[in-house]
Amino acid sequence: VAASLGSLGTIEAHVRLVRKERRLPLPGEVLVAVGDEVKPDTPIARIALRPGVPWVIPAARRLGIEPRELSRHMVKKVGDFVKTQEVVALVEDGRSGRRELVSPTDGVIESVSDASGRVIIREEYGKEDPPVTFDVAGEIRVRPEELMQHMIRGIGQEVKKTQIIAKKGDMQAFFTKTALAPISGVISAIDTKTGKVTISRPFKQVVVNAYLAGQVTSIIPDRGCVVETPGVRLTGIFGIGRETFGRIRVLTERPEQSLEPEMVTPDCEGCIIVGGALATEESLRRALEVGVKGVITGTVNYYALIRSLGVKLGVGITGQEDIDLTLLLTEGFGRLAMRREVYETLKAMEGRIASMSGATQIRAGALRPEVVVPLQGYTGEIQEDAPVDEDIRPGGMVRIVSEPFFGEVGRIVDIVREPREIGTEAKVQVVSVHLDGARRVTVPRANVEVY
């Protein structure tokens, strides 16, 4: 790796120590140790979420006693393992004889409450338990294609063992046919051709990957670790889609050039492709078809985005969309060329494996989408993060980010202190900008950004 780093040249100024904290949402098992070298897809921590379904049994009510008497009548105590039909609590009195509370499932007694009079039994099973498929249409005697209208629980919904999941006939209890769930789990499929329903175990494993290639430098106990690497990190203004990684391929020749569908060839599969200005709707569709992992481009059209990727932008909080493509916009919406510096940096990184995330949150504490190119084995100088200077000053280059000069770049001639009237009759602070071709325009200070 070190040898190929020789060609970095112009981008050396952008190399930073990239540090990523990778953590589980809940305590779990950390799979790496300090000093380990990791790849983007190396699992670093995992948890088994929802180890079993809790059965909440209104025990006091069933036994006909006051909630506060429940503990006295328990045969089993918290932490005990019980099997299906095993007696959990017992009431014996002279008048009405003996009443028993039996466990509806195999599991562990998790709590006994004298306040609410309830017993919670956590059903136990392992991830090795296979899903169960059974003939529901047959059980309730309907044709497979009619099954949907008799289902009480749908795909993705939780069911418990012995719960009614489908029912035929409504009013006449005598003629009603029902199908009961044979195991607890989540309905994962309803087949209207065969009439069969599949219930899977809701054993969900949450795994956190390293996200970028690098070295584990510290461990966060029970949660995850910190991965560090020298690398180049670029951020965009808006993104969509989850974390991904792939080889960088620059498809346009200039930052002003649009990304067209014919540029997205089948060999882009698994890559992160870089366009210039606008990525057209067809090029995004094509990228999805081909199996591109990520698209980095200047802008898209708002419509093209919702039509091609089928996403809603809503309140500008993204990153969890269920799409196979991650998108990073460096400039926003409409038609704008990618900043030359960003384009050149990506061009210099062509062929390297990059990690990217589309997660964006524009509100306070902003989160912007990013692309990170790890440079493991880099021996040159690592730059400190310089404070970002967003202040505009006379002579500085700015870009206008509002109509009617949207996207034009120029040099600040004057920053006018006193508010001036603009086209809308509003009085605001303005700046004079010298655009290409010797034009001079006055625009609100709020509508220019340092370029």
Partner 1 sequence: MRVSEVRSILATDVGSTTTKAILIEKRGDEYRLVTRGEVPTTVEAPWENVLIGVRKAIRRVEELTGRQLLDEDGELLRPMEGLRGVDLYVSTSSAGGGLQMMVAGLVKNISATSAHRAALGAGAVVLDVIAVDDGRSQSEQIARIRELRPDILLVSGGVEGGSVAYVAAVSETIRQANPQPRFGATYRLPLIYAGNRDAQDIVREICGDGMDVHVVENLRPRHDTENLGPAREAIHEVFMNHVMAQAPGYGDLMEMVDTTIMPTPGAVGKIISLTAEKLGLNIVGVDIGGATTDVFSSFGGTFTRTVSANLGMSYSICNVLEEAGFDKILRWVPFGMDEAQISDFIANKMVRPTTIPETLFHLVLEQALAREALRLSFEHHRSLARKVEKEKVGALAPPSLTTAKAYGSEIVRMGDLGLIVGSGGALSHAPRRGQAALILMDAFQPEGITCLAVDSIFMMPHLGVISSICPLVAAQVFDKDCLIRLGACVAPVGQARPGTAMAGVRVVMPDRKVVEKTIVKGEIERVPLPAGEEATVHVSPYRGMDVGAGKGRAVDVKVQGGVSGIILDGRGRPLDLPEDPPERADALTRWFQAMDAYPMDEVRELRTQFPVKASSGKGGKKRGGFFGFLRHD
Where along the sequence are the contacts to partner 1 (CB under 8 A)?
A: 25-26, 50, 53-54, 56, 60, 67, 111, 113, 115-118, 120, 158, 237-238, 301-303, 306-307, 312-316, 332-334, 362-365, 387, 401-404, 406, 422-428, 443-444, 446-447, 449
Q: Which C-beta is closer to partner 1: that of 116 or that of 178? A: 116
Place of tokens 């306070």: 364
| Distance separating alpha carbons of residues 346 and 352, to the nearest angstrom | 10
Q: Which C-beta is closer to partner 1: that of 8 or that of 313? A: 313
Beta strands in 269-349 (DSSP E): 271-274, 294-300, 317-318, 326-333
| Distance separating alpha carbons of residues 428 and 405, to the nearest angstrom | 17
Nearest distance from C-beta of residue 159 to partner 1, angstroms: 10
Q: Which C-beta is closer to partner 1: that of 95 or that of 363? A: 363
Phi and psi, residue 282, nearest 5°: -65, -35
Q: Which C-beta is closer to partner 1: that of 153 or that of 249? A: 153
Nearest distance from C-beta of residue 365 to partner 1, angstroms: 5
Task: Report how far apart, in Å, the C-alpha atoms of 342 and of each of 16, 134, 359, 386, 451 are.
Answer: 15, 56, 19, 17, 11
Beta strands in 337-406 (DSSP E): 353-357, 360-361, 370-374, 397-400
Nearest distance from C-beta of residue 146 to partner 1, angstroms: 26
Nearest distance from C-beta of residue 376 to partner 1, angstroms: 27
What pairs with residue 297 in β-bridges? 329
Nearest distance from C-beta of residue 136 to partner 1, angstroms: 20
Nearest distance from C-beta of residue 315 to partner 1, angstroms: 5
Nearest distance from C-beta of residue 195 to partner 1, angstroms: 26
Angle between helices 281-290 and 302-309 (to 10 degrees): 30
Do the Cβ atoms of 355 and 243 come closer than 8 Å? yes
Do the Cβ atoms of 451 and 390 come closer than 8 Å? no
Q: Which C-beta is closer to partner 1: that of 113 or that of 188? A: 113
| Distance separating alpha carbons of residues 432 and 57, to the nearest angstrom | 73
Q: Which C-beta is closer to partner 1: that of 88 or that of 142? A: 88
Q: Which C-beta is closer to partner 1: that of 199 or that of 373? A: 199
Phi and psi, residue 328, nearest 5°: -130, 120
Residue 278's nearest CA partner among 330, 317, 237 is 330
